[in-house]
A and B are shown apart, each in its own frame.
Chain A
Amino acid sequence: MKRWTRPALLLALLLLAGCGSMLVQPGPRRVDGLQLDTPVSWTERGSKGHRIWTRDGTALNALHLYTEIKPGEHVMRQRYGLKKDEGARFRAGLSAVEAQELIVDALRASGATDLKSEGLRPHLFAGETGFRFELSFANAQGLRYQAMAAGEVENGTMSWLIFLAPSEHYYERDRVHVEAILASLARR
């Protein structure tokens, strides 16, 4: 039965996640070793290593922050029963091109359809040279989403974030706030 639940669980984490939440007020904040500044308030869910911020519910806007993913760990910190050499797993020494592939594959496994990624480029992430790119995809019901992802591979671990929202209205509305957060990222 597990094999059928896996995609649903992945998607749930991306778009429907949540159990227990707290309010994040505008201003500077520390998140799992990162310092950032948010211009707007969010609701936070998740736990250390994977925080999920949303303003209107994760199906409408979701900012996922993954920190210090270690070699062998799933890039979205999934813990289902994949074998160690299969699935979208981080490995040390991963290039930016391969980090992008890893994220794209994990999203596809979560149920994203008609997924396109583009604009992979160097990006200063928390003061380190990292990567950034944009994505678009559809969910199972055909609703189109846009996303931006950025991250860095440093000291044998990977930290990254992805912001996902429906293309219509929500992505553009909140993109500027996520850009501000991205620009403010620093190592604590």
Chain B
Amino acid sequence: MSRWLLHAALLGLLTGCASTPNLPPPAVGERPSIESDEAGLWAQMEAFEKRLQYAPDRVTDPALNAYVRDLTCKLAGEYCGDIRVYILRQPYFNAAMAPNGMLVIWTGLLLRAEDEAQLAFVLGHEIGHYVSRHSIERWRQMKSTANVATAISVLSAGAGAGLAGALATMGAYSSLYAFSREQEREADDYGLKRLRELGYDPRRAGQLWAAVWDEERQRERGLMSAIFATHPASEERRDRLLQAAADGEGQRGFENFQARVAALRPSWFEDELSRRHFRQSAVLFARLRALPPLAGEAAYYQGEMYRKRAGEGDVTRALEAYDAALAAGRAPPAVHRSRGLVLRQLGRAEAAREAFRRYLELAPEASDRAMIESYLQ
């Protein structure tokens, strides 16, 4: 789908290599001179941003957007007015900053962050890319390696594009991964600095990357990672972040963050399940289930993951997870439908019928009512 290619191309331009000299931070409200090469990059990004405003996967929930925008503003300080936030419904861990101040956050990141400190670190990291003008360095590097034309072709492909051009650009894109790590470290340092300045616990940054690394290690070669490759998850990065903040302390903002994302979180769980990359989801759901306020909800989706995976012993695991979700009192009515399905597989027909009946009691308008009623006959 061109959406993927578009994101890939965008991200390829949004982070950079370290082979050009460090540039001074941008002035507040600064736009590049029309004669500069940077103006061309801005023009591309602004065209992309126009399309992004109407992207079908853009999350438009006003409360969530206001929350993330306000937090970004706090972190951006004097650059607040230069940065615009877009949340995209994508089940992967990613955020990206364009040179024109377009900041893109994917919902897979919001599902994986546990508290405001972790989200603030990621946002601060992206603002670090902006302040350090990494993308213009990347742009110049791409020009020097003659990759820019293909990258632009993929950006244009966002409006419905050519697979062949995208394939070529992905080669260029991949070749630039290796250059991004030094800049990632620089952006990490900026993110940690802003966490400390705003009173957040800087240790949460390393703990987020430790969790992300645990997921990444489960990935099978050839599968799309839950963690986007421009933000390499590695032991080195985890250890560096943990070490840098070992003596830090501060607020987590756990309750506030969880309250802000609670309404949309079920849809992000559903998206994660839809990936059917069960090894990574298993690690994620187990982590979230260990957080008391999320335990019931995460247990339900962990049960869904086991039921969908349907490996040896998974039916029993699913039932245990559903029962835990019910005990925690935070499961949706569909937990009873799912219990009914696994109880049927376990040969417990009467218990399955009881679960289906309970589902229909709690969700009388369920759109699959006719099918569930057929199971009761």
Q: How far, in angstroms, from A82 to B159 measured CA to CA in the complex?
A: 28
* Smallest beta-carbon distance A177→chain B, Å: 24
Select from chain B the residue with minimum beta-carbon distance to A83. B220
Contact A10–B1 (Cβ < 8 Å): yes
Q: Is the CB of B220 within 8 A of A140?
A: no
Q: Residue A8 at the B interface, CB < 8 A? A: yes
Closest Cβ of chain A to B354, distance in Å, is: 17
Are A4 and B166 in contact, with the CB atoms below 8 A? yes
Q: How far is the CA of A96 from the CA of B356 in the complex (A)?
A: 14
In the assembled complex, how far is the CB of residue B53 from the closest CB belonging to chain A, in whole angstroms? Answer: 11
A114 CA to B54 CA, complexed, in Å: 13
- A118-B1 in contact (CB<8A): no
Contact code string A130-170 (vs B, CB < 8 Å = 1, else 0): 01010000111110000000000000000000000000000
Asked if B367 and A140 sit within 8 Å, CB to CB, the answer is no
A residues less than 8 Å from B1 (CB atoms): 7-8, 10-11, 110-111, 139-140
How far apart are the CA atoms of A4 and B57 in the complex, in Å?
18
Q: Within the assembled complex, what's the spacing in Å between the Cα atoms of A88 and B277?
A: 10
Residues of B within 8 A of A110 (CB): 1
Tell which of B1, B276, B344, B372 has the most Cβ of chain A within 10 Å.
Answer: B1
**Out of B274, B310, B337, B368, which one reaches A91, CB within 8 Å?**
B310
Return A96 CB to nearest CB of chain B, in Å. Answer: 5
B371 at interface, CB cutoff 8 A: yes
**Alpha-carbon separation in the docked complex, A133 to B4 (Å):** 28
Given A81-B222, A97-B341; A113-B160 close (CB under 8 Å): no
Q: Is the beta-carbon distance between A140 and B56 smaller than 8 angstroms? A: yes
Q: Does A22 contact B (CB under 8 A)?
A: no
Evaluate contact between A85 and B371: CB separation under 8 angstroms.
no
| B308 beta carbon closer than 8 Å to chain A | yes
Contact, CB under 8 Å: B56 / A8: no
Contact B308 A114 (CB under 8 A): no
Which of B6, B273, B279, B367 is A120 in contact with, Cβ under 8 Å? B367
Interface magnitude class on chain B: 35 or more
Contacts of B307 in A (CB 8 A): 98
Bound-state Cα–Cα, A121 to B368, Å: 6
B48 touches A (CB below 8 Å): no
Contact between B167 and A6 (Cβ–Cβ < 8 Å)?
A: no
**Beta-carbon contact of B222 and A122 below 8 Å:** no
User: A1's closest neighbor in chain B, by CB?
Assistant: B170
Please indicate which of the listed interface residues B166, B274, B341 has the most CB atoms of chain A within 10 Å of its own CB. B274
Please tell me if B243 contacts chain A, counting CB pairs below 8 Å: no
B348 at the A interface (CB under 8 A): no
Give Cα A82 to B277, complex, Å: 9
Q: How large is the interface on A (under 10, 10 to 19, 20 to 34, 35 or more residues)?
A: 35 or more
- Distance from A82 Cβ to chain B, minimum over Cβ atoms (Å): 7
Q: Is the CB of B167 within 8 A of A5?
A: yes
Q: A8-B4, A108-B274, A122-B374 are in contact. Are A86 and B166 (CB under 8 A)?
A: no
Q: A6 contacts B224, CB within 8 Å?
A: yes
On whether the beta carbons of B271 and A113 are closer than 8 Å, the reply is: no
The smallest beta-carbon distance between A18 and chain B, in angstroms, is: 14
In the complex, what residue of chain A is closest to B57 when comparing beta carbons?
A: A113
In contact, B159 and A105 (Cβ under 8 angstroms): no
- Given A87-B276, A141-B159, answer yes or no on A122-B371 (Cβ-Cβ < 8 Å): yes
Contact between A119 and B367, CB atoms less than 8 A apart:
yes
CB pair A86–B220 under 8 Å, yes or no, is yes
Candidates A9, A97, A119, A131; contact of B337 at CB < 8 Å: A97
Greatest chain B CB density within 10 A among A4, A87, A97 is at A4
Whether B2 and A95, one on each chain, are in contact in the complex, defined by CB atoms closer than 8 angstroms, is no
* Those of B321-360 within 8 Å (CB) of chain A: 337, 341, 344-345
Q: B57-94, CB under 8 A of A: which get 1 and which 0?
A: 10000000000000000000000000000000100000
Q: Which residue of A lies closest to B162 (CB)?
A: A8
Q: Contacts of A4 on B, CB cut-off 8 Å? A: 4-5, 8, 166-167, 170
Chain A 70-90 interface 0/1 with B at a Cβ cutoff of 8 Å (1 = within): 000000000001110111100
- Which residues of the partner chain A approach B4 to less than 8 Å between Cβ atoms? 4, 7-8, 111
Query: Provided the pairs A5-B167, A138-B56 are in contact, do residues A113 and B89 lie with their beta carbons within 8 angstroms?
Result: yes
A109 within 8 A of B: yes
A113 contacts B56, C-beta separation under 8 Å: yes
Chain A contacts for B54, CB-based, 8 A: 142
CB distance from A168 to the nearest CB of B (A): 15
The interface residues of chain A lying within 8 Å CB-to-CB of B277 are: 86
Which chain A residues lie closer than 8 Å to B193 at the CB level?
Answer: none
Tell yes or no: B309 within 8 A of A by CB: yes
What are 16 A-B contacts with C-beta separation under 8 Å?
Answer: A1-B167, A3-B224, A8-B166, A83-B223, A85-B309, A95-B344, A97-B341, A101-B308, A105-B276, A109-B276, A111-B1, A111-B3, A113-B57, A113-B89, A120-B370, A122-B374
* In the complex, the 7 A-B pairs of residues with the closest C-beta atoms, listed nearest first: A111-B1, A121-B370, A138-B56, A120-B368, A118-B367, A140-B3, A7-B1
